[in-house]
């Protein structure tokens, strides 16, 4: 089967193309390019056939996993502000196009040498992993405190944000975790509690991170809260409308995200 008919993601890289318009995660790249062109995430989302909510979710994920912010909001101007790519974002787009061209050449050469790549594609598909959790952060393991059964891991994110996780000692060995290595913290949005004016000394939850409410997306039953916790990191929580009303949350207001160390999943490449 020709390489251009297949696509698979392994360790964040798409090794096969599905079409000329989807290559190395092209859906996200196209979104970034359209934001750069239109200066508005709502206009960009509409142009690429994506919901506004999904577009913001993708942008938050991209910014969380990047060492520097890729997309930023702007204020003022004749239209009252918008969204634009940072210099880092523009550089990423340029580098992506170079990789795209070189990858195309690689696939053509690979197909010539291997013939049919169907079996290889099926193998890569089986070992690929995707997660449904909304919050995925990249960081460095700064501390591992190991006990007989469990171990405490402290992951340092950009902006000097720290996340504590509790995993089994067996997981330390299985994943090959060690201090100084890169790892990922994965947290379900439903596990993140939002609070205001919290006295950290009076809560048992290990992870209490203060920030600014970046975005509130209202729904018929639940409300999605995006909290800017600094360093270009956005953490998302899903709470009930009643809870949001009681907390009197507003965009630009202060709040904090709380979640148990046992709710944090640690992942590595």
Total domains, the chain: 2
Task: Report which of residues 226 and 131 the model is more confident about.
Answer: 226
Amino acid 123: pLDDT: 66
User: Distance between CA atoms of 183 and 141, rounded to whole angstroms?
Assistant: 7
User: Distance between CA atoms of 253 and 154, rounded to whole angstroms?
Assistant: 28
Amino acid 257: pLDDT: 96
CATH number, domain with residue 192: 2.40.50.100
Residue 244 falls inside a structural domain: yes
Residues 95 and 194 placed together within one structural domain of the fold: no
Signed CA dihedral, 88, 90, 91, 97: sign only:
positive
Residue 154 falls inside a structural domain: no
- Confidence bin at 12 (pLDDT 50/70/90): very low
Residues 7 and 123 placed together within one structural domain of the fold: yes
Residue 154 has pLDDT above 90, yes or no: yes
Residue 144 falls inside a structural domain: no
What are 120's two structure tokens? 């290889």
Residues 199 and 102 placed together within one structural domain of the fold: no
Radius of gyration of the chain (CA): 21
Alpha carbon separation from 67 to 60, 113, 168 (Å, rounded) = 13, 37, 29
pTM of the model: 0.70
Name the average pLDDT for the chain: 83
Q: Give per-residue pLDDT as tens, 58-85.
A: 899 888 888 888 999 877 655 556 899 9
Amino acid 79: pLDDT: 53
DSSP assignment of 182-212: EEEEEE-GGGPEEESS--GGG---SEEEEEE
Amino acid 127: pLDDT: 60
Alpha carbon separation from 11 to 33, 67, 146 (Å, rounded) = 23, 17, 28
Residues 113 and 196 placed together within one structural domain of the fold: no
Residue 147 falls inside a structural domain: no
CA 178 to chain centre: 23
Q: Which domain holds residue 91?
A: 3-127
Residues 119 and 31 placed together within one structural domain of the fold: yes
Residue 2 has pLDDT above 50, yes or no: no
Mean pLDDT of 239-245: 92
Residue 120 falls inside a structural domain: yes
DSSP assignment of 40-100: -HHHHHHHTT--HHHHHHHHHHHHHHSSS-SEEEEE-TTTTEEEEE-HHHHHHHHHHHHHH
Amino acid 9: pLDDT: 37
Residue 36 falls inside a structural domain: yes
Alpha carbon separation from 243 to 46, 199, 204, 210, 235 (Å, rounded) = 31, 19, 20, 18, 18
CATH number, domain with residue 59: 1.10.10.10
């Amino acid at each position: 089967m020709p390489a251009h008919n297949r696509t698979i993601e392994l360790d964040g890289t798409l090794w096969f193309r599905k079409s000329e318009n989807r290559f190395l995660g092209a859906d996200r790249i196209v979104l970034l390019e359209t934001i750069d062109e239109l200066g508005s995430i709502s206009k960009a989302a509409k142009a690429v056939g994506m919901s506004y909510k999904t577009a913001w979710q993708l942008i938050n994920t991209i910014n969380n996993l990047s060492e520097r912010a890729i997309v930023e909001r702007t204020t003022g101007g004749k239209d009252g502000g918008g969204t634009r790519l940072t210099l880092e974002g523009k550089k990423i787009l340029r580098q992506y196009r170079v990789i795209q061209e070189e990858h195309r050449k690689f696939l053509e050469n690979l197909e010539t040498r291997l013939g049919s790549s169907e079996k290889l594609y099926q193998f890569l598909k089986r070992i690929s992993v995707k997660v449904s959790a909304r919050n995925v952060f990249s960081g460095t393991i700064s501390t591992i405190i190991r006990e007989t059964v469990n171990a405490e891991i402290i992951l340092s994110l950009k902006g000097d944000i720290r996340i504590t996780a509790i995993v089994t000692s067996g997981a330390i060995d299985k994943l090959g975790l060690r201090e100084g290595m890169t790892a990922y913290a994965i947290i379900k949005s439903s596990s993140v509690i939002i609070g205001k004016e919290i006295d950290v000394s009076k809560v048992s939850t290990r992870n209490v991170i203060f920030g600014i409410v970046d975005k509130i997306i209202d729904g018929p039953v639940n409300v999605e809260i995006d909290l800017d916790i600094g360093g270009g990191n956005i953490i998302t929580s899903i709470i009930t409308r009643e809870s949001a009303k009681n907390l009197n949350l507003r965009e630009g207001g202060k709040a904090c995200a709380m979640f148990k160390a046992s709710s944090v999943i640690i992942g590595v490449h």
